[in-house]
Amino acid sequence: MYSKMLSLRFPKTVVNEPITVNLVKKFDLSFNILKATIYPRKEGLMVLELSGHRKSFQRGVRYLKSLGVKVESIGQDIKRDEDKCFQCGACTAVCPTGALYIERPEMAVIFDREKCSACELCVSACPARAMEVKFDRSLVY
């Protein structure tokens, strides 16, 4: 089983299409929607964890791209400014997926983009303001 956190940016021309249903029926994929803002006749954004066999996953992503959906790994939207981060570990206490954790014995704060769900809890927990989310804010909430 292959699984990855993705952000999907939908053009307004396909927001009324049954895209997620097709991912299940045509490609035997499962998904967990983490965040979604999709309005009729407007662009949309969906953050999800997509899972399935690797070949089905790749076919499903090709299907999305063929519709004009911009598919990105969620890690491309999350950034940590290494110059600002002073390794306090406050973010690790609130990270629900374990994407931020302390590596021992060095006591270094590590950020694993592949595990990140873009919940944004680390952004408010970071006293140094080293964590940033680069979503298009006009599409979120």
Per-residue pLDDT at 135: 55
Are residues 117 and 87 part of one domain? yes
Compute CA distances 24 → 18, 33, 104, 121, whole Å: 10, 13, 40, 30
Is the whole model's pTM more than 0.75, yes or no?
Answer: no
DSSP at 96: S
- Which tokens is 97 given? 């997926």
Residue 140 lies in a domain: no
Are residues 48 and 103 part of one domain? no
Q: Which residues pair with 50 in a beta bridge?
A: 4, 31
Compute CA distances 76 → 6, 23, 73, whole Å: 9, 22, 6
Residue 25 lies in a domain: yes
Q: What range defines the domain where residue 61 resides?
A: 2-75
Are residues 69 and 103 part of one domain? no
pLDDT mean for each 10 residues of the chain (141 residues): 86 89 96 85 87 95 95 74 93 91 93 80 91 57 27
Per-residue pLDDT at 102: 95
Distance of alpha carbon 41 from alpha carbon 37, whole angstroms: 12
Q: Decide which of 33, 48, 75 is a domain's last residue.
A: 75
Distance of alpha carbon 76 from alpha carbon 109, whole angstroms: 19
Are residues 114 and 58 part of one domain? no
Residue 141 lies in a domain: no
Are residues 69 and 102 part of one domain? no
Contact criterion met (CB below 8 Å) for 43 and 33: no
Helix or strand holding residue 121 (H, E): helix 121-125
Are residues 94 and 57 part of one domain? no
Are residues 65 and 89 part of one domain? no
